């Protein structure tokens, strides 16, 4: 079975809309400013974009607010003509879907539940506000499973009646470009996805190693 090429599918949709002379309304779920930077740069020519920030997986209200502030700052400083919809911080929703999955590894069964939680809210908003498509920036990360993200998006599209825009934004050097844009605008680039579980993994990976033979400590 051939693996789907979501980038080619997206290219085909863009080409079709360009031939028709249309610029559809896209609701773009965003997880943070760095991930949204390349996606906005790439899609703003082809879609009328509204950014949708709903990330109840954030481990603290402070982290949530920090990412919101960076998203707004990027909108002010970059030439990306996008509206922004900021949802209230809602950690209880994430806690409910994560219950029983707390010990899952990063990239395990908890993660697709988290993707769906956020994408479902976006699909619902897209339906209620007349958008032509919805999608998410999540696929730009090399650590996120694009198959899971697109499968969830297509299922939600059938449920809510709004087409999901296929994506694998890490293609075409999208992830590399997001890093370049983050440097250009001096964006805050967090070192974990957002939840307390991913933060714990990040902290373990960067924690110093204590040598048994002495009291010295060296960086991992």
How many other C-beta atoms can be found within 10 angstroms of the C-beta atom of residue 191? 10
Q: What is the pLDDT of residues 188-207, one digit of tens each?
A: 877 656 566 656 555 555 43
Record: fold of 6-218 = Rossmann fold (3.40.50)
Q: What is the pLDDT of residues 75-106, one digit of tens each?
A: 999 988 779 999 999 999 989 988 887 777 77
Choose among 106, 79, 91: nearest CA to 54: 91
pLDDT at residue 210 is higher than 90: no
The predicted pLDDT at position 211 comes to: 33
- Domain ranges in the chain are 6-218
Q: Are 52 and 153 in contact (CB under 8 A)?
A: no
For the chain, the maximum distance between any two Cα atoms, rounded to a whole number of angstroms, is 71
Q: What is the pLDDT of residues 27-72, one digit of tens each?
A: 999 999 999 999 999 999 999 999 999 999 988 999 999 999 999 9
What span, in angstroms and rounded, lies between the C-alpha atoms of 23 and 27? 13
Question: In the numeric block, which tokens belong to residue 134?
Answer: 């919805």
The predicted pLDDT at position 107 comes to: 74
The predicted pLDDT at position 3 comes to: 87
Question: In the numeric block, which tokens belong to residue 177?
Answer: 């470009």
What span, in angstroms and rounded, lies between the C-alpha atoms of 74 and 185? 7
pLDDT at residue 212 is higher than 50: no
Q: What is the pLDDT of residues 145-189, one digit of tens each?
A: 999 999 999 999 999 999 999 999 999 999 999 999 999 999 987
What's the sign of the alpha-carbon dihedral 96, 59, 80, 142? Answer: negative
Over range 209-214, report the average pLDDT.
Answer: 32
**H helices of the chain, where?**
6-20, 33-43, 61-77, 91-98, 110-128, 146-160, 174-184, 196-206
What span, in angstroms and rounded, lies between the C-alpha atoms of 4 and 220? 38
Q: What is the pLDDT of residues 117-157, one digit of tens each?
A: 999 999 999 999 999 999 999 999 988 899 999 999 999 99
**What SS3 class is residue 74?**
helix
Non-local CB neighbours of 24 within 8 Å, separated by 6+ positions? 17, 47, 48, 132, 133
């Amino acid at each position: 079975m051939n693996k789907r090429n979501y980038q080619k599918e997206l290219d085909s949709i863009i080409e079709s809309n360009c031939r028709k002379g249309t610029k559809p309304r896209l609701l773009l779920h965003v997880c943070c400013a760095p991930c949204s930077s390349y996606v906005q740069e790439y899609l703003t020519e082809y879609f009328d974009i509204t950014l949708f920030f709903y990330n109840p997986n954030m481990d603290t209200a402070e982290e949530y607010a920090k990412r919101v502030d960076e998203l707004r700052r990027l909108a002010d400083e970059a030439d990306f003509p996008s509206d922004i919809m900021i949802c209230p911080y809602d950690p209880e929703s994430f806690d409910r879907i994560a219950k029983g999955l707390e010990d899952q590894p990063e990239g395990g069964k908890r993660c697709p539940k988290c993707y769906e939680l956020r994408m479902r809210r976006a699909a619902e908003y897209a339906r209620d506000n007349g958008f032509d498509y919805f999608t998410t920036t999540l696929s730009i990360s090399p650590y996120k499973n694009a198959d899971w993200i697109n499968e969830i998006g297509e299922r939600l599209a059938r449920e809510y009646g709004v087409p999901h825009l296929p994506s694998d934004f890490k293609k075409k050097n999208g992830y590399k470009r997001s890093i370049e844009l983050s440097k250009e605008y001096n964006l805050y680039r967090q070192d974990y996805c957002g939840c307390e579980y991913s933060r714990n993994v990040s902290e373990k990976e960067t924690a110093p190693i204590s040598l048994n033979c002495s009291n010295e400590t060296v960086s991992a």
